[in-house]
Structure 1
Amino acid sequence: MATAAPPDSAPVNPAPPDADRGVFAAPLAWLRKKPALLAQLRGFARVAVICTIISMTIFTALRPTMGTQWANTISLVLCSVLNTDLNRRMSFGLRTRHLWWRDQRRGLGVMFLALVMTAGSLWVLHRVSPGASIAVELAVIVLGNVASAVTRFVLLRYWVFRRVRHGAGAKNAGAQTPAGAAATSDGAPVLP
């Protein structure tokens, strides 16, 4: 007696129906091939949320007594130190104090980009709408920070923490590497 051939079985891991469609399909596919960069971007996004909340809180507290521009400047400078330190740890896997002061000086340089964008945005806002509410000012500051975020990430990755990319963290033996990153024999993360 002849047996019937089994029907063709479905693929084990079928692709999601929208896998090949959409504006973000190609960039997301490329990003999935770069786990270290993806880990850095995730850490950067977490730090951005934390620092934005803290910066807006400081701004809101200082604005009534110091004015808009001074409150913005002070909140950005204070949060810059926190931002650089958190990005060292959460985005780039640097856990020791080696080169901390240099990183902070460079981080302040990167902060000036956000300061110029937010101060300029506030200046334009007050020329267009002199009686703008604090909610509108906060929205303008957040939008200015978002606009500078891409440049900030690039500067952090390729200037402030470039030693991570080149494996030059010899004094960083206690560092934990971000997910997907390789490590040198001394434990320093090497990222693509």
Structure 2
Amino acid sequence: MATATPSQPVTADASATGRGYFALPAAWVSRNPKLASQLRGFAVVAIICTAISMTIFAGLRPLYGMQWANAISLVLCSVLNTELNRRISFGIRDRHLWWRDQRRGLWVMLLALSMTGGSLWVLHHAAPEASIVTELAVIVLGNVASAITRFVLLRYWIFRRVRHAGAAHPKDAPVPAHS
């Protein structure tokens, strides 16, 4: 039931406001729909690329060792990750600035490589006989640890041109300097 007085705005009763555990996320999503959509897309891409990367790692691990298998799988998945984030997370469909985005995506991949490679190094020294399942778990944890920084770099550095726009800028449109 809503109540109002001339000096107060209309307020809904507690049962209609969505109070409780899910109220904050729903309110945040309604205030930040673009960022929420980008985060959802980023999560989908992360799941896809992590699954592919883990498959490549598991296949290459016996041949090249854990560090090389990790590096090769991350490099191979980097182009896919950047392309999927272009399309799914940030809505960029054209080929404009594709090479630049991919080069920057490789720099971002180095963050994940340093996190996962360092984690594998620590694992190897702490438990030299760790199973491949343990190695995969360490890689996933390393990727999760780097994901926040990766999203921030994608949003504010690589794809900053779409942060305030509805879609990617056409080739002839200038990219705002303050984005």
The bucket for the TM-score relative to the shorter chain is 0.7 to 0.9
In structure 2, list runs of 5 or more residues that go unmatched: 3-11, 174-178
What's the offset of the Cα at 1:28?
4.6
d(CA) in 2 for partners of 1:126, 1:25: 44
What's the offset of the Cα at 1:43?
0.7
Q: Which digits, 9 at most, give the CA deviation of each residue in 1:22-44, with x for residues without a partner?
A: 4x743552232111111111110
d(CA) in 2 for partners of 1:25, 1:58: 40
Partner of 1:21: 20
Task: Give the aligned CA root-mean-square deviation in angstroms.
Answer: 2.5
d(CA) in 1 for partners of 2:97, 2:59: 33
What's the offset of the Cα at 1:45?
0.6
Paired residues for 1:155-166 under 5 Å: 155-166=153-164
Deviates more, 1:139-148 or 1:159-168: 159-168
d(CA) in 2 for partners of 1:171, 1:15: 47
Partner of 2:40: 42
TM-score normalised by L of structure 1: 0.77
The one-letter code sitting in structure 2 at the alignment partner of 1:163 is R
Answering whether residue 138 of structure 2 is matched by residue 140 of structure 1, we say: yes
Partner of 2:101: 103
Bigger relative contact order, structure 1 or 2 (CA pairs below 8 A, ≥6 apart):
1
d(CA) in 1 for partners of 2:169, 2:79: 21
Q: 1:66 aligns with which of 54, 64, 79?
A: 64
Percent identity, aligned pairs only? 69
d(CA) in 2 for partners of 1:158, 1:28: 24
TM-score normalised by L of structure 2: 0.83
d(CA) in 1 for partners of 2:43, 2:164: 23
d(CA) in 1 for partners of 2:143, 2:84: 17
Answering whether residue 74 of structure 2 is matched by residue 76 of structure 1, we say: yes
Task: Specify whether residues 97 and 140 from structure 1 end up closer, same or farther in structure 2 by C-alpha distance, changes over 3 A only.
Answer: same
Partner of 1:52: 50
Partner of 1:182: none
d(CA) in 1 for partners of 2:79, 2:112: 14
The one-letter code sitting in structure 1 at the alignment partner of 2:16 is A
Moved over 4 A (4+): 11-14
Aligned residues: 163
What's the offset of the Cα at 1:165?
1.7
Higher Cα Rg, which structure: 1
The one-letter code sitting in structure 2 at the alignment partner of 1:141 is I
What's the offset of the Cα at 1:14?
4.2
SS of the equivalent of 1:37 reads helix
In structure 1, list runs of 5 or more residues that go unmatched: 1-7, 173-185, 187-191
d(CA) in 2 for partners of 1:90, 1:15: 33
